Amino acid sequence: MEKNWGNVFPIAWTWAQAIGFINGSKVELVATSCLVSHLAPKVSVVALRAPNIHWDFRLLDNRSFKYNRFILAQDIGIWEFAIESKEDGRFLALNFTAPSSSFSERLLTPTHAGFSNNTGIGAKESYIARVDISAIDTNKDNKQLLKTSIFQAALEFGGEYAA
């Protein structure tokens, strides 16, 4: 059940998460990006857990990441959420994709006036998304620490991003 713990809910957001097993080891991933208002900067958070990798990236007020790229696209029947982050010798590239037909009808989300699923407010979710992951240690001659794909990821677009 969704709960709005604050006084406002973002006007646009994407949320993605995945868990998979690579060579018997668990890989977990969460990524989100939201637009709190048209006047505020985008906020992004990414966390990756894998053998020997415990990475967190936070983009708040456009200062925490040294580099960040965010893509949100809906064309040719595919919805995409891609984010790249580089900080302190770490580079992480994530690309989530899901067929448009796999997304739910618009779901209810919290608003000032209660829950709503009106256009520009509700969210759409897919549970058959794919994520391609690339984690590189840029301090060690660009050593590839992880390069894999996880299927059955969850991908959600909400508010104005779900238009």
pLDDT tens figures, 96-143 = 899 989 999 988 877 767 777 776 678 889 999 999 999 999 998 899
For position 99, what pLDDT does the model report? 92
Model pLDDT for residues 9-30, shown as the tens digit of each residue: 777 888 889 998 877 778 887 8
For position 102, what pLDDT does the model report? 93
Share of the chain above pLDDT 90, in %: 20
For position 65, what pLDDT does the model report? 44
Residue 75: pLDDT band with limits 50, 70, 90: low
Residue where the block lists tokens 């000032």: 112
Instruction: Say how far apart CA 148 and CA 135 lie, in whole Å.
Output: 9
Q: Which two tokens stand for residue 102?
A: 């796999």
Instruction: Say how far apart CA 55 and CA 135 lie, in whole Å.
Output: 10
Smallest Cα–Cα separation from 160: which of 44, 16, 10? 10
Residue where the block lists tokens 């299927």: 151
Q: Are 96 and 11 in contact (CB under 8 A)?
A: no
Residue where the block lists tokens 């668990």: 26
Instruction: Say how far apart CA 44 and CA 62 lie, in whole Å.
Output: 9
pTM of model > 0.85: no
For position 67, what pLDDT does the model report? 42
Model pLDDT for residues 14-72, shown as the tens digit of each residue: 888 999 887 777 888 787 777 777 776 677 788 899 888 999 887 765 444 444 455 65
Q: In Å, how far are 30, 84, 144 from 155, measured between CA atoms?
A: 10, 17, 25
Q: In Å, how far are 19, 69, 143, 149 from 137, measured between CA atoms?
A: 22, 18, 5, 18
Who has greater pLDDT, 29 or 154? 154
